[in-house]
Every structure is written in structure tokens, then in C-alpha cells.
Structure 1
């Protein structure tokens, strides 16, 4: 397997902190980057108690293509962040005593954990697909549907926001009373030409709260009654008329259709596959080492 660069910023931050703390108590073990470089070619841009930030270390900052002002802003923020970090390290060194052996052990633990993390991550990228077949999603849904009880109302619906002055409103209202799908092309045409906003994805389940957001229905006290008792909801404000055609709905605590939870199920199944794959990898490596007598266990 090709070696991968370590890119996990969280781990890198941890390792940086441990290294910095270790330097406080054992400066003779490390040489700070840039101490042997020509100051004129690579000048110091900031310094805290002998710890120097060199100009060359700023070259990797994402300033390419930015204006001079934006570039300077990024550089200045980085310098300030570096200074604050060094001051915190100094304060930690003043306030606490650190065991060098313990710090070194922790540093190695972080290093090895990062190596294993990157190895497992690369292995998963090479051996697992990001998509789950719908058949697997359906099977999991059927076996676990009771675990997906809704916490809010979801609907299949049509929504159109029309200017009150539009002469298309009577026609649209008549079309929206027809059976689902009967006047789809005509409704779409009106939406594209005249609506200020619209949502016409008949087959997609959405949260009712998302659809009525920024409309007069947002603060309605009885949303359950709204969807139960109305196939077509029409409300207005000073400027607009809002049309909501409710095609189908599910209430709180009811079981949602598989289409609404398929992304959630896909994530669950992907995570299960990842866990299984890593467990199999660990077992394979262990058994291979056992067969080759590559480790010993002492009594």
C-alpha cells in the first residue's frame, strides 16, 4: 500500500502541543527550525522566549490569489495565533512540572495512534464503496423501522408563492385542486414563469416546518390540524399568496417512509461495514503474525 501523508489536523495539533511542552524541559534534545539559516534570507517574524517564527513558515498559508489586504490579514492572524500558543506553552511550563519520560511516552502514543488511523483510513478508502444498494437499505428499514419514529411532521407537497397581483392565481388554484399528477406540466409552467418561490418535488418527503418557514404558517399553533384537514392550504400576507397542496403526510411518532430515512440508514450501514472491515483487517494481520512467530507473549 502506498504511504499517505498525515493530514488529520486534530492529531497534528496534539502532537505539536506535546512537542512544544517537551521542548520546554529538554531544549538540548531539539533544534528549532531555522536556527542555522541565514537571518537575511529567512528572517524571524515573531519571537517568544527564544522560540522563533520564521518567514519561510508563512509560505504555506493559503494567500495565493488574494488581495494584499486579505493576504496580510491571514498572515497577521496566523502570527497572533502562534504568539498566543507560545505564551500558553510558556505559562504551562511555569505553572506545572512535566515528567519528560511521560511526555515522550504520550508523544509516541499520539504518533502511533496517528499512524494506525491513517493506515486504517487509507485501507477503507481502497476497500469500501461509499454507496449502499437500496436493497440493503430496504432490508435494514424493514427490520428496524420502529426505531425511526418521527419527531416532527413530514409531507409530500407542492408549494408556490405568488404575487397577489398575478392574474394566474385563479388558474393555479383551480389546477391545485385536481388529482395529483393531472396538471403537473401546467403547474410547473406557472411556477417557472410567475412564482416568487416554489417547491414541486412530488416524490420527495420533506419536513413540514422547512416548507412553511418564512410564510404566515410558520407560527401556526395547530400544524397537525392543518395537514389533517386540508388538501390545499391558502394563506396570504400584505404582498403574497402562499399555496400548499398536501399530497401525503406523516405525523410525530409515526413511522416515516424509507425514502425519508434512506440517507440515515446508508450512514448506519456504511459505519457497520467500516467497523467490520477494520476488525477483519486487524484479525488478518494478527493471524499472519502468529503464523510467522512475529511476536511473543511472556508469562
Structure 2
């Protein structure tokens, strides 16, 4: 009798736990809207609500989300009902084709990540550049320049101008040490830069910057601007290697990708044929 009582208590305890879990599950899966046979649960909206949102804003957003969900489901039902079977077949074919393309492309990308050699040497880049430099004509004007801008009331203005005009390395280093005093600066004149980008920063005309000049200055209410143009390349000139190098690297890698994909395709067909998984009648 005592054993029966213990079994009964255990059954009662287990049953209580089961109903408590069921109640929690039903509460967490509370239905907030129904469209035909489709149900929207409270849990579905949980991840769509931003954090730290007020209760009032939360209610407004929830209503909007429910409305959008309902409209989508109603439209979908109407579309399924009113589209011809031929249209539905066409749509299903498009969906299947899209799914297959996604799967194939995803697989190809994984293979490329695993097998593609991404190391491109300087020699490869130079050889590619020399063999194809006629294809690298500029669509924009490039300049090698240095410039800076500082307030009108800055101390040692004359000294800064003299340092800027100088070609001496020690003067250039001294100018670098004073860069915190400048509102804007670019002191490396060995890098090619698009002229249009410089014109956005400096109040000079395009004509002023299209010719080599050791020193140009201009003053306005915002301060004094100093510019030196070391070299100029015009539209349709061959782009310098240093400027086009990142593009060439991408072109080399793209060519390798295509060649790798072709090799993989040949290998897949070869293996399938060898294993009698591919036959042509």
C-alpha cells in the first residue's frame, strides 16, 4: 500500500510539472493575430522590437508589425487564389532556379576561399601593368601635391611658410612636428591624388592646380592655405603603377577565380563520368 501511495505522489508531482510547463509554453506562444489558418505568435514579434523602447512606442510598433504581417498574408492568399496554375508553375520554377543558383554560388565561394591563392607578388603586378598599361588610361586628373591650412592668427606664420616652401628634409620634418597647429594638411607629395578631391578641401580654382608650382597661397576669413604641385597627370594619360596597383591586384585575383572555377567544373564532370553519375546518350 505504501508503494502505491509513493507511486501516486510521484505521478501527481510529474503531472503538475507537465501542466505547469504546458501553461508556460502556451503563454510564451500566445497568439496575437490570425489570418485564415495562419497564426502570428507573440514570440514572433519579440526579436523585431528594439531594445530600450518605451511601452507606448512598443504598442504602436506592435500594431504596425501585426498590420504588415496581416496584409502580406492576405495578399499572398489572394495571389495564390487568383493566379493561374501556369503562372504558379512559372513562379515555382523561378524560385527553384534561384534556390539552385544560391546553393551553387555559395558552394563555389566556399571552394574559392579554400583553394584560391591570394598572394599576388610585386613582380606579377608589374608584369601585368606593362602588358596592359594601354588599358589603364586615366578618367580623372591626378596630382602629386602637398598642402596645409592654418588660422590667420597663428604664431610663426612666416616660419611655417618658409618651411613649407623648402625642399630640405630637416625642414619637412620640422613641419611635421608642428602639424597639430594646422587645421588641415597633407605633406606627402610623393602620392598621386585625384585633383577633384583636393578641390573639395581647398579654395583654389582648377586652373591654379593644373600646373606645376612650388608654392601657391590664398587667404580668406577661415585662414591661410598653402599648396605646392609637384606633378600633374591629365585625363587619358597612362595611370601610374602606384595609383593603379590595388586595381591590378583585384584583376589578377578575379582572373584566378575564373580559372579556378573552370578547373573545378572540369574536375566535377570528370569524376561524375568516371563514377557513371554522368552519361551522354
TM-score by length of structure 2 reads 0.77
Corresponding residue number in structure 1 for 2:3: none
Q: What is the count of residue pairs matched by the alignment?
A: 255
Which of 118, 131, 142 is equivalent to 2:130? 142
The CA deviation string for residues 12-33 of structure 1, in whole angstroms up to 9 with x for no partner, is xxxxxxxxxxxxxxxxxxxxxx
Q: Is the 8 A contact 2:29 2:42 kept in 1?
A: yes
Structure 2: segments with no counterpart, 5+ residues: 1-24
Corresponding residue number in structure 2 for 1:27: none
Shift of 1:257: 0.9
The CA deviation string for residues 92-141 of structure 1, in whole angstroms up to 9 with x for no partner, is 44663243444443333222222111110111111124453222221111
Corresponding residue number in structure 1 for 2:224: 241
SS in 2 for 1:248: strand
Corresponding residue number in structure 2 for 1:266: 249
Q: Is the 8 A contact 2:125 2:248 kept in 1?
A: yes
After superposition, the CA RMSD in angstroms is: 3.1
Q: Is the 8 A contact 1:42 1:54 kept in 2?
A: yes
Corresponding residue number in structure 2 for 1:232: 215
Q: Is the 8 A contact 2:146 2:189 kept in 1?
A: yes
Shift of 1:207: 1.0
Shift of 1:162: 0.5
SS in 1 for 2:148: strand
Q: Is the 8 A contact 1:159 1:199 kept in 2?
A: yes
Corresponding residue number in structure 1 for 2:4: none
Distance 1:279 1:58, change over 3 A: farther
CA distance in 2, matches of 1:161, 1:237: 11
Corresponding residue number in structure 1 for 2:52: 67
Shift of 1:232: 1.7
CA distance in 2, matches of 1:275, 1:75: 47
1:1-299 equivalence runs, <5 A:
40-61=27-48, 63=50, 66-69=51-54, 72=58, 82-83=69-70, 85-86=72-73, 88-90=75-77, 92-93=79-80, 96-99=83-86, 100-179=88-167, 181=169, 183-192=171-180, 194-217=181-204, 220=205, 223-298=206-281
CA distance in 2, matches of 1:124, 1:275: 10
The CA deviation string for residues 205-229 of structure 1, in whole angstroms up to 9 with x for no partner, is 2112112314312xx2xx2453314
Distance 1:241 1:50, change over 3 A: farther
Structure 1: segments with no counterpart, 5+ residues: 1-37
More helix by percentage? 2
Q: Is the 8 A contact 1:148 1:256 kept in 2?
A: yes
Q: Is the 8 A contact 1:163 1:240 kept in 2?
A: yes
The CA deviation string for residues 137-158 of structure 1, in whole angstroms up to 9 with x for no partner, is 2111111112121122212221
CA distance in 2, matches of 1:200, 1:46: 64
Larger Rg: 2
Shift of 1:44: 3.3
Corresponding residue number in structure 2 for 1:30: none
SS in 2 for 1:53: strand
Shift of 1:75: 6.5
Shift of 1:282: 0.6
CA distance in 2, matches of 1:130, 1:75: 47
Distance 1:239 1:109, change over 3 A: closer
